[in-house]
Chain A
Amino acid sequence: MTVVLEADVIRLRGDCPVGDAETLVALLQEVPGRMVDLTGAGTLHTAVIQVLLALRPQVLGPVGNPFVDRWIAPLLPMGRSG
């Protein structure tokens, strides 16, 4: 599992391929206000990143993946985990 729901936090773990976008959208549409934890995220497929950009959930960092951290995280509403 690369998209895991724990309490009200969706954790992305490791590399998330295109198929994870659908799972992520479903979890975000199901209960509004869920946060997404990117601390363990690896390479994220564009479709997954697009979900974050479009639905703008609160994102928890620091982001595990350097590319996402450098270029994508600044575009997202960020919080800190822990």
Chain B
Amino acid sequence: MDELLAQFLIEGRELVQQASEDLLALEREGHSPARLDSAFRAVHTLKGSVGLFDLAPMGKALHAAEDVLDAVRGRRAGIGSGFLDPVLACLGACEAWLDAFERHGALPPSALEQGRQLEAALHRCMPGAQVAETGGPAPSSPTDWATALAGTQEEAVAAARAAGLTVTALRYLPDADCFFLGDDPLALLRGLPELIALRIEPRSPWPPTAEYSPFTCNLDMQALSTATAEEIRRVFRLVPDQLTLVELPASATAVTVAAADGAGEASARVLRVDAARIDQLLDVVGEMMVAKNALAGLAARVGAVDAGLGRALADNQAAMERLAGEMHRSVIGLRMVPLSQTFRRFPRLMRETAAELGKPIDFQIQGDEVEADKAVVEGLFQPLLHVLRNAVDHGIEAAPRRAAAAKPATGQVTLRASRRGDQMLVTVADDGAGLDPAALRAAALRRGFGTTASIEALDDAAALDLVFAPGFSTASTVTALSGRGVGMDAVRMAVETLGGRVSLSSVPGAGTTVQLMLPRATVISTVLVIRLGEERFGIPIEAVTESLRLPVAMIQPISGGEAFVSRGRTLPLLRLSGLLRLPPRPRQGPVARLLVVRCGDQPVGIEVDGFSERTDLLLRPMSGLLSGMAGLLGTALMADGRVLLVLDVPELVG
């Protein structure tokens, strides 16, 4: 990416954030000239740098926002707090546009119309200002079906646009055999937020009644939604190949390119370094650690020849070791950033969500000074946003129910982080309706998530865990009954990708707490090195619950496999060679060596040829061609210079 653009994107997001924080502080704390000035400067600077790129709608909207803030600063008559909403909406749009600009190098087609609406809203809160004239509708160029669909649904589209929403057309062509695969295509559409039009047609003409077969899906579904493309893709994440999305371009004004308006005024207080350069430094440090380890062997050899020289070399080696370790920690520390980098984006988004749903919310953040690896801090944004929105949407009750339960009208949502050694605990707590385990069990039964016996056997904690089951929370009856929403399985997946765990606790009537336990640093892992024939592999220590030496006689053949009894439980036994698709080898000697590994909730024994050491390694994720390989977490350079493959055992067992 060109350097100017990269710099613009970083600064642009910071300026949006700065202005949002200033405005939210104004709302919270009342009039403050310093905050107003700061917000004005941020918007002014952003508007100036926007002119350097092809971002005219953003420039014009920001210009209008700047005028409004300037008027408020000058205390011109007629401006109350009514300016906050349109300016915040403008900042929200700018953030989304910056994302789009980074990904696609251009603004989405809807930006013109959206910018025009933002501008109009901003002008409206300026007394005596003229609402900008708009041109006629511009010719649109989506695919034909989308145009046709929008044409037949003009009213719905116009109403959505009047509310300032973007309309996306989607076409879903379920596979002919999808019923056999257990799909229910309309259930996906039911789960779609903000459906405003739906058209269903046969893909090929219906046969005569007597020849109709109920087993083949022959539907072509077209819909309009005001949900974002991302939300829609999430609903259809299991059938992405059957979905087409078209964002409907809005009517447009003629484009005039805003002139560049002076360079940014932001002064550099910190040195910005590309994360890739830090990773490069980390690689070099890793190699240095290896070189240092070799020195220990050399000192021993020299000591055998000349004891005095050997001692001197060993002293030096120890000093090197200490320094290298320190350097390693410092470099790792460079990747550590405070959680506030992600958390600070939430207050504005929560304010939007609360306003959309018409629920007054008091949103608190605690512990955002906790630091974690940049990848973890950034990766937390999506899952946390989901959980936070759920808390407002499904956790906090509507006003009448809160009143009936003698709760304060304003719902409490708290995002809290705290350090737990190498890990951190992030919780989202609400004081809403909570979840009813009995209702969840009933829903699970209805939805076929198990047999009656297996579901009734679930204790309350296990019943609550059902909300994370894939597809469970999208079932409409569940949302109606228990109120916990769509896509908690996606949250769990995202958190697990970051190396964390997510769980949920709830007191019916008093609220729900979602807990995320996450590693603060992802780069250093403790692995157990195991042997398989001549090969060595690493297994992350957190995956291993115990290592066992078991007499071969205690291994029982069962149907098509093997099992053994440990602590009174019968566990399946799998051979690592089999999981890696290596040729099977006979067992050596009377004792088998196994690791007990947790796969989901089920412990499984994995047989290996031998255990070696436990070691701390710099785990590098697989990259390039290898990144798609299942069952591999990454590679690490061993002290002896060999490359160790680190296995993802739960995935191997799959």
Q: Which A residues fall within an 8 A CB radius of B? A: 15, 18, 21-22, 24-25, 28-29, 32, 43-47, 49-51, 53-55, 67, 71-72, 75
Contact = CB atoms under 8 A, between A and B. Distances in A.
Name A's interface SS.
helix
Contacts of B207: 54
Leading 9 A-B pairs by shortest Cβ distance:
A21-B214, A46-B186, A54-B206, A71-B198, A25-B214, A46-B185, A47-B179, A22-B214, A46-B184
Interface residues on B, range: 20 to 34
Nearest to A55: B209
B209 A53 contact: no
B209 A32 contact: yes
A25 B185 CA distance: 19
Contact of A15 (B182, B183, B210, B446): B446
Interface in B184-209: 184-187, 189-190, 195, 198, 200, 202, 206-207, 209
A21 B213 CA distance: 9
A53 B209 CA distance: 11
B472 to A, nearest CB: 15
23 contacts: A22-B214, A22-B215, A24-B214, A29-B210, A29-B212, A32-B209, A43-B187, A44-B186, A45-B186, A46-B183, A46-B186, A46-B187, A49-B186, A50-B217, A51-B214, A53-B202, A53-B206, A53-B219, A54-B206, A55-B212, A67-B190, A67-B476, A71-B189
Interface string B110-132: 00000000000000000000000
A55 B212 CA distance: 8
Given A24-B214, A29-B212, A47-B215, 5 more contacts: A21-B215, A25-B213, A43-B477, A53-B206, A54-B218
A81 B477 CA distance: 26
Contacts of B446: 15
B198 to A, nearest CB: 5
A18 B180 CA distance: 9
A49 B198 CA distance: 14
A49 B212 CA distance: 13
Nearest to A24: B214
Contacts of A67: 186, 190, 476
A76 B300 CA distance: 88
A75 B200 contact: yes
A77 to B, nearest CB: 14
B217 A46 contact: yes
Contacts of A53: 200, 202, 206, 219
Contact of B209 (A22, A24, A28): A28
Contacts of B200: 53, 72, 75
A45 B185 CA distance: 8
Contacts of B206: 53-55
Contacts of A45: 184, 186-187
Contacts of B212: 25, 29, 51, 54-55
Nearest to B186: A46
Interface string B230-251: 0000000000000000000000
Contacts of B215: 21-22, 47
B202 A54 contact: yes
Nearest to A54: B206
Contacts of B185: 46
Nearest to B189: A71
A46 B477 contact: no
Nearest to A21: B214
Contacts of A75: 200
A24 B214 CA distance: 9
Contacts of B198: 71
